[in-house]
A and B are shown apart, each in its own frame.
Chain A
């Protein structure tokens, strides 16, 4: 139940990619039949991705990852507008590809303001608007959190931003393909998405940039992607992304309904069966497949290892789990303390999961938690305090 780190590539997607790893090896820029074949699939995929988010195909730039799309948006949009101002606003819970891009811009002389979130992980539009100044050129607020699943009021922020004011970018990597996403309804100027978040291949992603909005490329090179993202196109990945987008449009309603049911069962079950557990993120306004918790007195990596020994894959935002040994900045920004953040758990449900899987987790998780609590000094302290 760790579909967010990498979702299984659907067989249909794999089928759509295979020809471009084999007989159709042309370069889309080449003016011969082999090139034509590659060009056709790239342009077809561009239309499919545009359709997924309600955009126009010429506005879609293919990238290698959501990280690249976010880097390109933050740095590329800000650097293109530097004569208008050097202030940008991002939320405190953005992905590191946004936060660290903003940090890079700081070193170039930009000023960055961080918009806070509430305890549900929701960004308050009023807080964002408060931070906007006359020299603010870019605001970036994610569409949904990849860690706690909270869906953000992007459209409301867009509506309240001054006209002809800053550009608005949204990182929709966690949401695109998983819930309806419309660039028009969101009112944004740029949007990042990644295929591996909706059963497309890794290495397939895109940045959508509204027509007429200037963007400086991260890489200098040739004319691919209108010169905004030079480098020979990764045709198989793009073909896979297009197919995944097409399937997401076709299956979205059914998929969402299924995941909502499973998620409801998982959340209710964990809160009921595991004492001292809290749901993290917004209770209702969250991505369909996301069930995230903090389980008190125990640490996430140990939980993951024991769950793994039962064949259950999940994720955690604990310090020990991360290579950097830092607790999730998202949970800390939500006001969750270090100790509680250590016990964070994230289950992300996907198309392969069913009720049986959820029942199995609900059977195993309480035992895993109990076992770790039995050896936790924090738990024994708590029990002693309860006894007075």
Chain B
């Protein structure tokens, strides 16, 4: 049986929205070189909506597919809607991820969250549950599931 679902393979082979946004309104970077995944998400926000989203990802097939899926899920959504994207939602949309790659879906959702928070802080916008909270420390051993 192949390791990855067809959906993961599609997103890995032709990832959507790859790139950087030079004048991004929010940037979120997350990374852990020990387990080998790093993601940077860029968002462009207009009227409280994610008008554009791009990312760069260093990592395995799952990390790349997760980044692509997250970008699809949040493009055009309001910030509040985007914040409801959870790791399990991403994994489900990808038709599942191998057990030892579930942390990749955490990274994708976290990187996006960081980008939104970065935007909110830059623009002095309060988003309850985001700007009033410390982000959890990145777990060095997150990869050792």
Contact = CB atoms under 8 A, between A and B. Distances in A.
Contact of A319 (B29, B34, B40, B61): B34
Contacts of B33: 337-339, 342
A299 B58 contact: yes
Nearest to A340: B33
Interface string B40-62: 10000000000000001111111
A357 B143 CA distance: 35
B36 A342 contact: yes
Contacts of B100: 323, 325
Contacts of A302: 12, 59-61, 63-64
If over half of B's interface residues share one DSSP class (helix, strand or loop), that class is named, otherwise mixed; here it is mixed
A380 B13 contact: no
A320 B59 contact: yes
B35 interface: yes
Contacts of A338: 33-34, 36
B58 to A, nearest CB: 5
Nearest to B144: A325
A306 to B, nearest CB: 8
A337 B34 CA distance: 9
Contacts of A318: 36, 60
A377 B60 contact: no
B56 A375 contact: yes
Nearest to A309: B13
A298 interface: yes
Given A309-B13, A323-B100, A299 B20 contact: no
B15 A320 contact: no
Contact of A299 (B18, B19, B29, B60): B60
Nearest to B61: A305
B35 A325 contact: yes
B59 A299 contact: yes
Interface residues of B, number: 30
Nearest to B15: A375
B13 A376 contact: no
A132 to B, nearest CB: 34
Given A318-B36, A325-B143, A305 B12 contact: yes
Contacts of B34: 319, 327, 338
Contacts of B29: 377
A376 B36 contact: no
A60 B62 CA distance: 45
Contacts of A299: 36-37, 58-60, 63
A367 to B, nearest CB: 14
Contact of B36 (A309, A320, A324, A379): A320
Contact of B18 (A298, A300, A323, A374): A374
A353 interface: no
Contact of A301 (B20, B38, B61): B61
A318 B36 CA distance: 8
Nearest to B40: A377
B145 interface: yes
B39 interface: yes
B57 A377 contact: yes
Given A302-B59, A305-B12, A320-B59, A375 B64 contact: yes
Given A302-B64, A319-B36, A338-B36, A377 B56 contact: yes
Interface of A: 297-302, 305, 309, 318-321, 323-327, 337-339, 342, 374-380
20 contacts: A299-B37, A299-B59, A299-B60, A301-B60, A302-B12, A302-B61, A305-B12, A309-B13, A320-B37, A320-B59, A325-B145, A338-B33, A339-B33, A375-B64, A377-B31, A377-B38, A377-B40, A377-B58, A378-B58, A379-B58
Pairs A-B, 5 closest by C-beta atoms: A320-B60, A301-B60, A377-B56, A342-B36, A377-B40
Given A302-B63, A375-B64, 7 more contacts: A301-B60, A309-B13, A319-B35, A338-B34, A342-B33, A342-B36, A380-B20
